[in-house]
Amino acid sequence: MKVTYLKSIWRLVTANAESKVGFAIVSVFVLTAIVEGIGGFSILPYDPIQTGTGAPFSPPSWSHPFGTEVLGRDMFSRVIAGTPTDAYVSFFVVGFSCLFGGFLGSMAGYVGGFLEEALMRITDVFFSIPAIILAMSVVFVLGNGPVNVMIALTLIWWPAYARLSRSEALRLRNMNFVISARLAGVSTPRIVFRHIFRVSATTLLIYATLDIGTVILVYSGLSYLGLAVRIPYPDWGVMVGSSEQYIFLAPWLPIIPAIIIFLVAFGFSLLGDGLKAAMQRERGM
């Protein structure tokens, strides 16, 4: 069953050029995060925190592919070292939101009544406040740092998945296989998990793929504002924010991490759009 499901996902990934390009970009991002996360700074060409590894404001070269910054730290090593944080935050936020919001929405859509109405009103409250403003407010309460930013984003990210899974549950709850399970005496939680939530998993996965890029953009924005990782620790958003004053003197300093953020978000967008188009073709939509 698991092998069949993975094969169906792989078929969607390889269904069109859009998803293939997106998958290639995402794979590089994920593999870089894993390798650097396991190996740490020791696998990098230079220590990303150590100053004086090169002359300040050195342009891109063979020894420093992304140049160096104001204190002579190697930008290539700093960009690679900042990758795991963005990966951890984005995958945790989207993964937890998908599981928690997805199951809650599936339960509300299947059961209906007070639970569904309560869920809709709660999500309305979250959607009425701009996500970035709400996230900033939570971070101000909890304090700065990547863990607190991750908590803040998770608190505001799950309602979209609850809404999406609730709509899927409304579509599925009157299907023959769900009615048969109910008549057979299968418990409500088991029906929701096995026949509603699991069937909705592909739709949620495609939405989550699109959403990871959005989380990376929002997290980078919060880092840019100084609410996540603090200097000198490497982080893409911090690199853009701390070096924007040198845009004319050393334009590679803010531009390169900004391009990396864009490429990763673009890769997840391409992959998600490609998966969505492939699934719609399979369903004959």
The tens digit of pLDDT for each residue in 154-167 reads 988 999 999 999 99
pLDDT of residue 63: 92
Instruction: State how far the Cα of 272 lies from the Cα of 158, in Å rounded to an integer.
Output: 18
Q: Is the pLDDT of residue 228 over 70?
A: yes
Model confidence pLDDT, tens digit, residues 111-151: 888 888 999 999 988 888 887 788 888 888 888 888 888 98
Give the N- to C-terminal CA distance of the chain in Å, as an integer: 25
Q: Position of tokens 């607190």?
A: 148
Sign for the CA dihedral angle at 147, 153, 155, 160 comes to negative
Average pLDDT over the chain, rounded to whole? Answer: 88
Cβ neighbourhood burial of 47 (10 Å; 0-12, 13-18, 19+): middle
Position with higher pLDDT, 93 vs 4: 93
Mean pLDDT of 33-39: 93
* Residue in 91, 92, 47 with CA at minimum distance from that of residue 72: 47
- pTM listed for this prediction: 0.89
Q: Is the pLDDT of residue 28 over 70?
A: yes
Three-state secondary-structure class, residue 124: helix
Check residue 214 and report its DSSP letter: H
Residues 6+ apart with CB under 8 A from 64: 54, 58, 74, 75, 76
* Residue in 264, 211, 267 with CA at minimum distance from that of residue 80: 264
pLDDT classification of 6: cutoffs 50, 70, 90: low
